Chain A
Amino acid sequence: MQEQTRYAIQVTDLTVAYREKPVLWDVDMEVPEANLMAIVGPNGAGKTTLLKSILGLMQPAAGQVLIYGKPYQQQRRLVGYVPQRGSVDWDFPTTVLDVVMMGRYGSLGWLKRPGKSERMKAEEALHKVGMGEYANRQISQLSGGQQQRVFLARALVQDAQVYFMDEPFQGVDAVTERAIVTLLQELRSAGKTVVVVHHDLQTVPEYFDWVMLLNVRRIACGPVEKVFTEENLRKAYGGRIGFLRSDQNHHLENMPVEGVAAVETSPTGGTLPAGNR
């Protein structure tokens, strides 16, 4: 008996409009289980919107979202979320451990207080992201990379099957970036599926198995080696694409090198498409 691919996430015909202005047009996306997936596209392509409407934070005009074959609302417990780091006030009077424990609130449900087991899970997750000693720190004392790790730990304690992360690599140091990648790979080995909104095209083939190119509509979605082609990138980014040398990257060996714009390297070593700053 041949095993059928299990889809962790299936999005069909998702259209999202903000004040009747479409932000996403009829997007389909399917992600097989135990994959690391990147969503890439230029600014304003609707990457964050896609994530938020999958998570029910924005009301889509049409379409549906299935997590392991059932509507999202029924499967909420299976889903973990890492919002953009800048979306909260890091001067909020609370500790690292407290923030991580918030990841347990969902399973606790209304009114129940977090207790010992929540605290233990949170501490464990903090150790996993290398922030064990920071448990009692006030969150305003953290660096950008440390903030990101705290958010990841909070998602880890959600004990989810499917994770959605909004730009986890944004503005973190190289060490943290490595740590996050290792963590993502561990999650994959444990059979989890992770969808990441990503900016750094250069690292896509190295970090991810699956990729979606998005620019208001879906340009392409599938395995990186099939879909992450210059042609598709050009479609997604228009003429503004600055790309990497092909020898750095075995998936793109067959890509023509001519017509490739200059590589811009950011201090953290990543590259960004020139038009995407």
Chain B
Amino acid sequence: MTQADIDIQLVAMVTAVACALPGVFLVLRRMAMMSDAISHTVLLGIVLGFFLVGDLNSPLLIVGAAAMGVLTVSLVALLERTRLVKEDAAIGLVFPALFSLAVILISRYAGDVHLDTDAVLTGEIALAPFNRLYIYGYDLGPTGVYLMGVILLLNLLFIVLFYKELKLTTFDAGLAAALGFAPSILHYSLMSLVSITVVGAFDIVGSVLVVALMIAPPATAYLLTDRLPRMIGLSALVGVISAIMGYWIAIAMDASIAGSMAAVAGVLFVLVFLFSPERGMLAIARRRAEQRWLFAQTMLTIHLLNHEGTPEAEQEAQVVHLQEFLRWQPDFAARVVRKAVERQWVIRHNGHLELTASGREHASAAMLQS
């Protein structure tokens, strides 16, 4: 591993974690697409800020970009409040317009500056090692690490300080408001943080792939756990894995590093989606198959119980009848009956089924439970 390898991976990892933290709350608050909107509109903030101060490295640009992010959120809310368009359409109207404006301003008035529209989409993480921080001539490493590191700390601080409030407003905004927690202040603070994070990550991975780093790791973690702290930790972990694996795959293919990070994050999501021990497709399918048998047996006992003592009981309790009325396939019905007999919920009595005491108990309990 060369120094450049280490530098790039370091930048990638810090960026991924910084993005994953606010991403958790975006995913939980069903506002994931807002990150897509913000990641596009901050460009306008950067451009306008650049026109104002004339320096691409000015910290004022970050302020301008963050303000633009908040403006985007407010514009969407404003548009939605007119009731003329629905929320999803409002997002879809606001960000392309602002982004287009930014792209045109760049290509028209800032073509000669280092602000290149393609780089906006793809980022330039490969250049990260060349932007270094020097203090008194000492090389302290790539600037990207420090920039994203500060943003990461900011995000972490926000989450730690307002953990209780965030949790409450995320899961029950109404209650939070009733308790005096001002959900909207928290909402806009979170959106400001998202904007700042996006601006920082923008240069490194580009506007579209910021969305991948913000959404994919938390979505993956959401399939693995129910607990918020664990979800935050897992998101960060998934982000780090995506960064490292993404980097090496990109090197092997000689392809876009940021794109490869997003792709790995996507693959990790798919793997968890399929194989998560609790919520994975495979686990669900296996559980369903088990449940299906138990469910069918319970259904049988309830069926027998419902018709016990009625005039048609004689007919309803026949094994052959199960196919007709419950619409069960013959061998399925036979297997269900056999299993129920094994459990001693029913007994077979020349072609008839009868409930045992424990079968009756099970049926009533099942009905009460649901």
Chain A residues packing against B (C-beta within 8 Å): 12-13, 15, 17, 20-23, 25-26, 28, 61-64, 216-218
B288 within 8 A of A: yes
Q: Closest CB of chain A to B87's CB: distance in Å?
A: 13
- Pick the residue among B291, B298, B302 that contacts A217 (CB under 8 A): B302
Docked Cα-Cα span, A165 to B292, in Å, equals 32
Docked Cα-Cα span, A139 to B279, in Å, equals 42
Q: Closest CB of chain B to A61's CB: distance in Å?
A: 7
Contact status B299-A25, CB under 8 Å: yes
Contact status A20-B303, CB under 8 Å: no
Q: Which residues does chain A contribute within 8 Å of B328, judged by CB atoms?
A: 62
Q: Which residues does chain B contribute within 8 Å of A28, judged by CB atoms?
A: 306
Contact status B299-A26, CB under 8 Å: yes
Contact status A25-B370, CB under 8 Å: yes
User: Chain B's interface: helix, strand, loop or mixed, by majority?
Assistant: helix
Q: Closest CB of chain A to B277's CB: distance in Å?
A: 18
Chain B residues packing against A (C-beta within 8 Å): 287-288, 291-292, 295-296, 298-299, 302-303, 306, 325-328, 366-367, 370
Contact status B295-A17, CB under 8 Å: yes
Contact status A217-B326, CB under 8 Å: no
- Pick the residue among A17, A20, A25 that contacts B302 (CB under 8 A): A25
Q: Residue of A at shortest CB range from B84?
A: A91
Q: A62-B328, A64-B325 are in contact. Are A26 and B303 (CB under 8 A)?
A: yes
Docked Cα-Cα span, A184 to B319, in Å, equals 41
Q: Which residues does chain B contribute within 8 Å of A23, judged by CB atoms?
A: 370
Contact status A13-B367, CB under 8 Å: no
Q: A62-B326, A216-B370 are in contact. Are A26 and B302 (CB under 8 A)?
A: yes
Q: Residue of B at shortest CB range from A216?
A: B370
Q: Closest CB of chain B to A88's CB: distance in Å?
A: 14
Contact status B295-A25, CB under 8 Å: no
- Pick the residue among B295, B306, B327, B367 that contacts A20 (CB under 8 A): B295
Contact status B299-A62, CB under 8 Å: yes
Contact status B288-A13, CB under 8 Å: no
Q: A62-B328, A64-B325, A216-B367 are in contact. Are A26 and B295 (CB under 8 A)?
A: no
Q: Closest CB of chain B to A199's CB: distance in Å?
A: 21
Q: Residue of B at shortest CB range from A27?
A: B306
Q: List 5 A-B contacts (CB under 8 A).
A: A25-B302, A26-B299, A62-B299, A216-B367, A217-B367
Contact status B366-A25, CB under 8 Å: yes
Docked Cα-Cα span, A218 to B326, in Å, equals 16
- Pick the residue among B291, B298, B326, B370 that contacts A63 (CB under 8 A): B326
Docked Cα-Cα span, A13 to B226, in Å, equals 37
Contact status B295-A61, CB under 8 Å: yes
Docked Cα-Cα span, A227 to B246, in Å, equals 68
Query: Which of A22, A26, A217 has the most chain B CB within a 10 Å cutoff?
Result: A26
Docked Cα-Cα span, A17 to B292, in Å, equals 10
Contact status A22-B288, CB under 8 Å: no
Q: Residue of B at shortest CB range from A23?
A: B370
Q: Which residues does chain B contribute within 8 Å of A64, judged by CB atoms?
A: 325, 327
- Pick the residue among A62, A216, A217, A218 that contacts B327 (CB under 8 A): A62
Q: Residue of A at shortest CB range from B303?
A: A26
Contact status B367-A63, CB under 8 Å: no
Q: Which residues does chain A contribute within 8 Å of B299, judged by CB atoms?
A: 15, 25-26, 61-62
Q: Which residues does chain B contribute within 8 Å of A21, judged by CB atoms?
A: 370
Docked Cα-Cα span, A150 to B367, in Å, equals 38
Docked Cα-Cα span, A13 to B299, in Å, equals 9
Q: Which residues does chain B contribute within 8 Å of A15, judged by CB atoms?
A: 299, 302, 326
Docked Cα-Cα span, A62 to B298, in Å, equals 12
Q: Closest CB of chain B to A237's CB: distance in Å?
A: 14
Q: Closest CB of chain B to A12's CB: distance in Å?
A: 5
Query: Which of A13, A22, A28, A217 has the most chain B CB within a 10 Å cutoff?
Result: A13
Contact status A20-B325, CB under 8 Å: no
Docked Cα-Cα span, A26 to B328, in Å, equals 13
Q: Which residues does chain B contribute within 8 Å of A217, judged by CB atoms?
A: 302, 306, 367
Q: Closest CB of chain B to A81's CB: distance in Å?
A: 22
Q: Which residues does chain B contribute within 8 Å of A26, judged by CB atoms?
A: 299, 302-303, 306
Docked Cα-Cα span, A17 to B367, in Å, equals 13
Q: Which residues does chain A contribute within 8 Å of B302, judged by CB atoms?
A: 15, 25-26, 217
